[in-house]
Structure 1
Amino acid sequence: MKDSAVKKIAVLTSGGDAPGMNAALRAVVRTANYYDIHCYGVREGYNGLIHNDFLKMGPRSVKNIINQGGTILRSARSKEFMTKEGRQTAYENCKQLGIEAIVCIGGDGTFTGAKIFNEEFGIKVIGVPGTIDNDIFGTDNTIGYDTALNTAMDAIDKIRDTATSHNRVFFIEVMGRDAGFIALNSGLATGALDILIPEKKDSADDLFANFLKAEKTGKSSSIVVVAEGEKLNNVYELAEKAKEKFPDYDIRVAILGHIQRGGSPSCADRVLASRLGYGAVTGLMEGQNCVMAGMRSNELVFTPIEEAIKKHNEINQDLLLISEILAI
């Protein structure tokens, strides 16, 4: 690795927190230290850039955090940074410290802010995808997705125990905003009768047909996994419609909510975060700018931030078919 032209960098976490953000932060700080690059942490995302909330970080600043969920730098969605004045103040603060590049750990909102900041003021930026939704183009998985998936699976397994004990139908809402990755994979992993996601055209009639099929095959309890961004209806309305159609069913609703965001990151997320944090720093050293570090087919790749924002990971159609075949 050649000597880096970049001598001072900052790192921030922004948007919704995701398990593994701390592991990524640790990797950025320690990789920078290894290559004699000064590293500053920014508290509360882009707000910290505006309010001059920088913290000089070294190897000991990030001890014992690889296993922690959330983010020790804290995160925020900054309305102030959305204004030209806010970004101007952020730039002045970076300039004062001599910061030449920023590693931005977050999702598409974080990357949009980074791209605009780079275009306006020329400070180099590199993105690290940290979001449980797994909806960022340019990486097979985002940091936090695997942990959220396992959290959802564990919760659904527990709900299944009560569903089978009482012959109940549970409608379970999982997170993922406008992406159905958590719903599809956790639904497949837990044997859900049906999985409702924004990426496919769902209908109440298809759902009810599945209930009838399940009845014929002797199923006495069922799990339906619903992505929070499902366009058909929200989870309560779906349960209400099902109750009208099947008045004899004991129907319940469970919303898993923010438990999916928290918790100690899985091994996969810790390794992914470590590789991407390292990749972000070495990418900057090699002259990369306005790109996102990602892993595709187990190789480190850099995708222009514009592409990462505009395009989206696509749902695996095979998984949809498999989930339908195995559900009955």
Structure 2
Amino acid sequence: MSDATANDYGDDSQFEDYFALLKPRVMSLVVFTAAVGLLVAPVGVNPVIGFASILFIALGAGASGALNMWWDADIDAIMKRTVKRPVPDGRVTPKNAMIVGLWLSVIAVGMLALTANWFAAALLAFTIFFYAVIYTMWLKRWTPQNIVIGGAAGAFPPMVGWAVATGGVSVESVAMFMLIFIWTPPHFWALSLFMNDDYTKAGVPMLTVTHGTRVTRNNILGYTVVLFVVAIATAFTGIGGPIYLATALILNVMFLMGAVKLWKRTDADADGDEYGAERKFFRLSLVYLFASFAALLGDAALRKFDLLNAWPVVI
């Protein structure tokens, strides 16, 4: 980090500043996918234990966000999208952001171990470590594959939720992991297409910066095709069913059409409509993930009432 990020700005922080430090929008996605992982598992969990477990997973996500903001304060201060975050904006000191992140990590992992099981807690600890150290401190500033490899951090929450219920890993939890893991690159590369100036100024080696927008558009299309296969395959695991399959078919056709549209576009096209198609694809990617996991919940409800006995489980 630069020397500037090591300076204290003074701390007149309010509660909302510390709450913003936890990246609540990202946390909401973590909470949702982790809850789905828990609820679609074949083993039931006491509602109190389940609620507490999701709370501690959320704290773990918040800890990752705080550590990310502490370390990235220098580049966050350069980018328009992040300049108003609590640390670069001077509302929380870098030291306090680090302390909050470390303490929340300890509390989240320790309490999840006591509430659920040690395997789920260890997986949560690895998730925090992966995001804060492997992705934030290393990959993000070192390689254009930062989002590809680092996307694993955002893909672990449903596996943690599944582990809370089952105490382990299975084909189904890996399928949920892969769904998010393959979804992450096109999601973030779409963002990088219309935020490329920010990443260039900050020196973050996103694919758009290191290889250009044409290569990025090619990769978005390639990963979207792979995502189509992964998503449909998930329908034929133990967590799939007709609701998810129908949803996946609709969403993936829409997502693929959007990726093809981006692939056909040039920089001149994008500048001409202020990256309208890229922004639309980014918003669609958010709907895609929430709807996909909501559909898994729908099939879990059918399974609870023994309405999916004839559904083929191939994988």
Calculate the TM-score normalised by the size of structure 1. 0.28
Structure with bigger strand share is: 1
Structure 2 length as normaliser, TM-score?
0.29
Higher helix proportion, which one?
Answer: 2
Give the structure, 1 or 2, with the largest relative contact order (CA under 8 Å, sep 6 or more): 1
Q: Larger C-alpha radius of gyration, 1 or 2?
A: 1
